[in-house]
């Protein structure tokens, strides 16, 4: 049994099928209903009305064009320029030989090159995996199930931290304007900041429950203002210092000579310092992989849209991150307590223009920092968009509870959104919103996923050696990508293990162990159900099929079924075992659940309807062979209990003397986790039908 929320009074549509008349029961969205409860009205106000699955253009309306995808997914990458380049710049300090910030020009060039390298690799990943899945699917298919699990868990923790670090960095940017002495009502700035950040996470949960496209459009103005303001800042900083370019290059040359000629430091010490700063500024490159995880939500042709989005993301991130680092160097910016590097840069830029005492100067500073904060809030979108989608993909593979693949009436992965939001809120509170700690934790998992994806693709192209004309070029590209990503991963783990790296490894490791336990459990139960399928399918059935049309005047058994197999067959046998001489009709009811695995366009919805119809045809044929006049009804939706309730009402209208039956797995020893891992639709439906004056009998199928 599976299903989706509709709303308005449904109208059954009769269609002919082999061996039976199947009523296809589709529901329209709720509009103009006067019996809504207060809770339903508030929910509709916050989240919106249910989607109409009968709308053939629905998928097109929900999917994103390249520009909107750049806004929704690129905000994560672009916002990392607010803290990634600053982290790299901070670490150009040797514990013995002091600061060497003039070397930042090399970091800027390396940053630009790395962004385009990683984006180029992921563009080719889109070609090989056009249906999406990102690092989880790439590692699973190319390196094996275990590597895929590690990549998937790393992505889940990564997207939780994407939300947390983006919101925390936004708080730093905004509260840098008011200073540490800000304390209204006797409450310190740190507490106000943490409260604001927590409130934003809760607000983003509600916004994403409305739908991905709606949340992206709402944040579009912030994204565009950010791009405009930072373009002015970077171009202006460089233009104002063009006459100082020669002096800057001289400083860089002198710095290199000094490093090379310093005893105990030398060339290798300088390269080591650059590698150290480059690796610890790895937060700059996060978010590039987001497109590969969200391919199902891109407009057709998806690969072309994905590549265009990737180009927009890479270009904007490379120019912004590299430009900011160059601007730090040109304006001689250094870290200041209580301020972000970008705030110091903006203030220096305004002072260079001579506007520090003019209203335009403080206004520009305020707008720049506020829009940075707002974009960082928007960057949390990547966690809410991609995190639940990865979780849904893993649910299909039984690594996490299956209900994470379910969609809401707004066609969002709502359970995943709640999990991502609440765990991000917990991470915020546990770390106190410390951006440096969060960036370290965040970067480790990003580059763990990057590394596994690059290694998988490298292995793939090695397997095509001599068979594909581009195998050498692709192999070289992914080999270079693997080397860079593994280097950054190892340096970050070793250097920052004590400063928060261990937390990421612990969280990811715990997630892996939990997923292994869940899959093992599902595998055990699946084996037992398979044994039941084989045993019941082997039972002989004698006699001629009853091809008569069911009559509404006769006693009727309505059996709720899902996939054709042991549980459904067991239920009908159990009904006939107790009441064979009483029932003359049987109606089979099923609901095709629309989830993240099958919601991929109108064609996929047609496939779901066809599959559900074919399943019911098998049950109708079984009922006829058992001597009963048989028919069926079906519905398509996202909320199984709601859809089944509506179909059951239609069944009672046509067959007044009906009793409903549903099968339910029961365990010899009931454990708390059974309720988390298994469908409880039968119990929810029993309660609903009771208030409608209908009887639902739940027939247990015992599992030891």
pLDDT by residue (tens digit) across 177-207? 676 666 676 777 777 888 888 888 888 887 7
Tell me where in the chain the CATH 1.20.1740.10 domain(s) lie: 55-520
Report the sign of the C-alpha dihedral through residues 124, 129, 134, 137, in that order.
negative
pLDDT of residue 602: 55
Tell me where in the chain the CATH 3.40.50.620 domain(s) lie: 13-19+547-703
Q: In angstroms, how far is CA 101 from the centroid of its own chain?
A: 38
Pick from 358, 361, 339, 337: which is nearest to 349 by CA?
361
Confidence of residue 49 (pLDDT cuts 50, 70, 90): low
Beta strands 556-560 and 585-593, pairing class: parallel
Pick from 315, 313, 385, 372: which is nearest to 74 by CA?
313
Q: Which CATH class is domain 55-520?
A: mainly alpha
Q: In the predicted model, is pLDDT for residue 14 greater than 80?
A: no
Confidence of residue 458 (pLDDT cuts 50, 70, 90): very high
Pick from 386, 298, 484: which is nearest to 77 by CA?
386
Report how far residue 299's alpha carbon sits from residue 568's, in angstroms, rounded to the nearest whole number.
39
Q: What is the DSSP letter of 550?
A: P
Longest dimension (CA), the chain: 101
Confidence of residue 515 (pLDDT cuts 50, 70, 90): very high
- Condensed to tens digits (0 to 9), the pLDDT of residues 620-677 reads 988 888 888 899 998 887 777 778 888 899 899 889 999 999 887 777 676 767 777 7
Q: In the predicted model, is pLDDT for residue 138 greater than 90?
A: no
- For 588, the 3-state DSSP assignment is strand
Q: In the predicted model, is pLDDT for residue 53 greater than 70?
A: no
Find the helix packing angle between 104-128 and 435-463, rounded to 10°: 50
* Interior/surface letters 281-304, b for 16+ CB within 10 angstroms, e for the rest: bbbbbbbbbbbbbbbbbbbeebbe
Top mean-pLDDT range of 72-76, 129-133, 619-623:
619-623
pLDDT of residue 542: 59
pLDDT of residue 6: 34
**The token pair that represents 516 in the structure block:** 């292994």
- Condensed to tens digits (0 to 9), the pLDDT of residues 157-167 reads 888 888 888 88
Confidence of residue 23 (pLDDT cuts 50, 70, 90): very low
Q: In the predicted model, is pLDDT for residue 587 greater than 70?
A: yes
Task: Provide, rounded to the nearest whole percent, the portion of the chain with pLDDT above 90.
Answer: 7
Q: How many CB atoms lie within 10 A of CB 164?
A: 28
Q: What is the DSSP letter of 15?
A: E
pLDDT of residue 46: 52
Q: In the predicted model, is pLDDT for residue 35 greater than 50?
A: no
Q: What's the rounded mean pLDDT across residues 365-377?
A: 81
Q: How many CB atoms lie within 10 A of CB 94?
A: 17
Beta strands 98-99 and 93-94, pairing class: antiparallel
Q: In the predicted model, is pLDDT for residue 29 greater than 80?
A: no
Q: What's the rounded mean pLDDT across residues 92-109?
A: 76
pLDDT of residue 179: 66
CATH fold of 13-19+547-703 reads: Rossmann fold (3.40.50)
pLDDT of residue 523: 86
Decide: 22 and 631 in contact? Cβ < 8 Å: yes
pLDDT of residue 643: 81
Q: In the predicted model, is pLDDT for residue 548 greater than 80?
A: yes
Instruction: Mean pLDDT check: name the lowest of 12-21, 80-89, 312-321.
Output: 12-21
Q: In the predicted model, is pLDDT for residue 479 greater than 90?
A: yes
pLDDT of residue 668: 67
pLDDT of residue 684: 80
Q: In the predicted model, is pLDDT for residue 418 greater than 70?
A: yes
- Condensed to tens digits (0 to 9), the pLDDT of residues 231-268 reads 888 888 888 877 777 777 888 888 888 888 888 788 88
pLDDT of residue 607: 78
pLDDT of residue 15: 34
Q: In the predicted model, is pLDDT for residue 22 greater than 70?
A: no
pLDDT of residue 267: 84
- For 245, the 3-state DSSP assignment is helix
> Between 19 and 163, where is the model more confident?
163
Confidence of residue 215 (pLDDT cuts 50, 70, 90): low
């Amino acid at each position: 049994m599976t299903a989706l929320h509709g709303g308005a009074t449904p109208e059954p549509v009769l269609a002919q099928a082999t061996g039976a008349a199947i009523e296809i029961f589709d529901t329209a969205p709720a509009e103009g209903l006067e019996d809504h409860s207060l809770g339903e009205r508030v929910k509709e106000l916050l989240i919106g009305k249910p989607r109409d699955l009968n709308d053939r253009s629905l998928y097109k309306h929900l999917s994103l064009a390249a520009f909107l995808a750049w806004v929704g997914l690129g905000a994560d990458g672009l916002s990392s320029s607010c803290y990634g380049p600053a982290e790299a710049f901070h670490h150009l300090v040797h514990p013995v030989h002091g600061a060497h910030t003039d070397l930042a020009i090399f970091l800027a060039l390396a940053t630009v090159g790395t962004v385009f390298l990683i984006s180029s690799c992921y563009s080719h990943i889109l070609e090989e995996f056009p249906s999406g899945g990102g690092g989880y699917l790439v590692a699973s298919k190319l390196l094996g199930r275990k590597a895929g699990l590690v990549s998937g868990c790393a992505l889940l923790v990564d997207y939780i931290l994407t939300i947390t670090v983006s919101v925390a960095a936004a708080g730093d940017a905004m509260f840098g304007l008011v200073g540490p002495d800000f304390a209204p009502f006797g409450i310190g700035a740190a507490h106000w900041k943490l409260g604001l950040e927590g409130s934003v996470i809760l607000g983003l949960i509600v916004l994403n429950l409305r739908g991905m496209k709606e949340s992206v459009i709402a944040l579009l103005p912030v994204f565009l203002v950010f791009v405009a303001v930072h373009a002015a800042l970077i171009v202006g900083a460089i233009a104002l210092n063009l006459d100082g370019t020669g002096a800057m290059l001289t400083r860089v040359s002198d710095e290199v000579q000094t490093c090379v000629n310093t005893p105990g430091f030398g060339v290798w010490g300088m390269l080591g310092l650059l590698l150290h700063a480059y690796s610890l500024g790895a937060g700059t490159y996060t978010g590039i992989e987001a497109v590969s995880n969200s391919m199902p939500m891109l407009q057709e042709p998806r690969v072309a849209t994905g590549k265009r989005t990737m180009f927009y993301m890479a270009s904007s991130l490379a120019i912004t991150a590299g430009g900011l680092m160059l601007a730090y160097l040109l304006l001689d910016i250094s870290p200041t307590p209580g301020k972000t590097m970008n705030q110091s840069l903006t203030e220096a830029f305004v002072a260079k223009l001579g506007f520090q005492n003019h209203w335009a100067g403080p206004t520009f500073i305020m707008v720049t920092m506020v829009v940075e904060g707002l974009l960082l809030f928007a960057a949390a979108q990547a966690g809410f968009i991609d995190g639940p989608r990865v979780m849904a993909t893993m649910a299909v593979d039984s690594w996490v509870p299956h209900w994470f693949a379910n969609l809401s009436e707004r066609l969002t992965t709502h359970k995943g959104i709640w999990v991502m939001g609440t765990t991000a809120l917990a991470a915020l509170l546990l770390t106190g919103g410390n951006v440096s700690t969060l960036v370290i934790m965040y970067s480790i998992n990003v580059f763990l996923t990057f590394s596994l994806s690059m290694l998988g693709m490298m292995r793939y192209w090695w397997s095509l050696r001599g068979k594909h004309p581009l195998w050498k070029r692709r192999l070289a590209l992914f080999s270079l990508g693997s080397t860079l990503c593994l280097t950054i991963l190892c340096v970050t783990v070793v250097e920052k293990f004590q400063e928060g790296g261990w937390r990421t490894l612990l969280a990811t490791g715990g997630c892996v162990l939990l997923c292994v336990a869940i899959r093992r459990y599902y595998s055990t139960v699946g084996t037992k159900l398979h044994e039941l399928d084989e045993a019941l399918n082997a039972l002989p059935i004698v006699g001629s099929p009853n091809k008569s049309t069911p009559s509404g005047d006769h006693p009727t058994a309505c059996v709720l079924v899902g996939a054709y197999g042991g549980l459904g067959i067991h239920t009908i046998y159990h009904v006939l075992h107790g009441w064979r001489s009483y029932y003359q009709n049987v109606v089979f009811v099923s609901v095709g659940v629309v989830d993240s695995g099958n919601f991929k366009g109108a064609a996929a919805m047609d496939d779901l309807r066809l599959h559900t119809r074919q399943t019911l045809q098998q049950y109708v044929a079984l009922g006829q062979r058992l001597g009963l006049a048989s028919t069926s009804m079906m519905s398509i939706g996202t909320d199984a209990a709601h859809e089944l309730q509506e179909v059951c009402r239609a069944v009672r209208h046509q067959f007044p003397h009906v009793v409903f039956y549903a099968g339910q797995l029961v365990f010899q020893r009931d454990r708390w986790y059974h309720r988390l891992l298994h469908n409880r639709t039968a119990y929810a439906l029993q309660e609903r039908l009771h208030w409608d004056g209908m009887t639902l009998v739940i027939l247990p199928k015992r599992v030891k």
